[in-house]
Amino acid sequence: MARTTADPQRTKYLLDEKDIPSKWYNIQADLKTPAPPVLHPATGQPIGPEDLAPLFPMELIKQEVSTRRWIPIPDGVRDVLRLWRPSPLVRARRLEQTLDTPARIYYKYEGVSPAGSHKPNTAVAQAYYNKQEGVARLSTETGAGQWGSALAFASTLFGLQCKVYMVKVSYQQKPYRRIMMETWGASVVASPSPDTESGKKVLEKDPDSPGSLGIAISEAVEDAATRDDTKYSLGSVLNHVLMHQTVIGLEAKKQLAKADDEADIVIGCAGGGSNFAGLTFPFAADKLTGKKRELRIIAVEPSACPSLTKGTYTYDFGDTIGLTPLVKMHTLGHSFVPAPLHAGGLRYHGMAPLVSKLHDEGVIEAVAVPQLATFEAALQFARSEGIIPAPESAHAIRVAIDEALRAREAGQPRTILFNLSGHGHFDLGAYEAYFAGKLEDYEYPAEKIAEALRGVPQVKA
């Protein structure tokens, strides 16, 4: 149970620039068993550094497979992180009062970054390492546009060109995200696009395809693999990406200590897994090492794209076309194309392998929530705390509110921490649709998931 001596008056818990973490936490050092290997799609054998070299700089490849607990953060990365880090930890007192709950609710606010989300934490690191290796151009995909914005921002700081394949439905729903990327110098196209063979294949089958993160990844990977001056950057899923995000949880632990409090429940929304892992992995370390076994860690996903709660834990491609290596993860099938819900950053068919492994081993929980209830929580939060959350972040808010209400019903004080991974200033079209009654809940049919899973490659143990 949490401590009960938290300051009854204080709201914000801030750190100094010197408190920006100097090392990333690598959860692979504390896993009960090693993470399953990444497999070559043609041979089914574990891949080596030479297989990844066309896509990533060598330093990131080393981080991807490292089992060292702490990886030093270069000064060149920390210098940029100082633009917005450390981010604040906020006690949601007004929300607590609205809910009439004995729970103490804290949120780590990542919307203070220039791009408005947690994504620059890894974008800056990736751009830095690519620049160090002499790369001139980066290609990537983006769903809601937060990752594309972050990489465009980081690329311009390090003098790199940037090509972004933006999921078509988000490209249409969020024009200001596209303009933001273009302001930072990126070239942005709607995916599926005619710019790649992968995009052309999809458009031949379905000219009106709304796109998906899997399709956009195929395009971005092809782009990088076919150009000598280009590397690929991914905003979630991969081990090194999740590790870069652990600055969030490392700061949060220091800030909770300043509040003289401890978390009982840690919550993050989960699409590919980056912001969830960023907050929760430093806390999961306490569970894995036996320091705090009773801690609950909850991943929240949309019921329209329920990879953890309804997917299968197996090897699958990370993209739709099948260009990427095979990774073991909770997946809905790489051909899965989710409904065009407004939480575009959570519309991915798979979950990060490390998050999937923790869920499979019972270290973390997962819950899927519907779209309307998520927006109801977003409004409740905005009208009490003042911040309009991104639809993705609102999934975490939904479960944080639910857990606070359970604490009220039980009459037990609990400390709840969630990641407010970004603001919703570029998502007001989603709120407009909600107010107009145009949003509806959508639960992906079981038969459609089963159909997609039939296409998952068969990998021998």
**Same domain membership, residue 217 and residue 344:** no
Helices assigned H by DSSP within 259-410:
274-288, 307-310, 353-360, 371-385, 391-410
Distance (Å, rounded) from C-alpha 459 to C-alpha 328?
10
Whether the predicted pLDDT of 2 surpasses 60: no
Cα 172 to Cα 9, 152, 335, distances in angstroms: 44, 19, 22
Which of 238, 270, 295 is the C-terminal boundary of a domain? 238
**Same domain membership, residue 126 and residue 186:** yes
Count CA atoms closer than 13 A to 107's CA, side-chain side: 28
Which of 209, 238, 267 is the C-terminal boundary of a domain? 238
Which of 191, 208, 238 is the C-terminal boundary of a domain? 238
**Same domain membership, residue 401 and residue 349:** yes
pLDDT digits (tens, 9 = 90+) for 135-181: 999 999 998 789 999 999 999 999 999 999 999 988 998 899 999 99
- On whether the CB atoms of residues 275 and 110 are closer than 8 A, the answer is yes
3 found inside a domain: no
**Residue 309: burial class (beta carbons within 10 Å; 0-12, 13-18, 19+):** middle
Parent domain of 437: 12-23+72-116+240-453
Tell me what pLDDT residue 83 has.
98
359 found inside a domain: yes
**How many distinct structural domains can be found in the chain?**
2
For 162, residues 6+ apart whose C-beta sits below 8 A from its C-beta are 137, 138, 139, 140, 151, 152, 155, 156, 181, 184, 185, 186, 187
pLDDT digits (tens, 9 = 90+) for 187-227: 999 999 999 999 999 999 999 999 988 899 899 999 999 99
**Same domain membership, residue 362 and residue 307:** yes
Distance (Å, rounded) from C-alpha 178 to C-alpha 115?
12
- ∠ CA 253-417-87, rounded to 5°: 55
Q: What does the block give as tokens for 372?
A: 């309307």
**Same domain membership, residue 409 and residue 446:** yes
What are the b/e assignments for 58-78, b being 16+ CB within 10 Å?
Answer: ebbbebbbbeeeebebeeebb
β-sheet bridge partners, residue 415 = 104
- For residue 58, how far is the Cα from the chain centroid? 23
- pLDDT classification of 30: cutoffs 50, 70, 90: very high
Q: What does the block give as tokens for 79?
A: 């210098």
Tell me what pLDDT residue 338 has.
66
Mean pLDDT of all residues belonging to the chain: 92
**Same domain membership, residue 169 and residue 112:** no
Q: E strands, 57-186, where? A: 70-72, 89-91, 104-109, 137-142, 161-167
**Residue 149 maps to which CATH number?**
3.40.50.1100
Distance (Å, rounded) from C-alpha 377 to C-alpha 397?
6
Tokens 């009062």: give the residue. Answer: 97
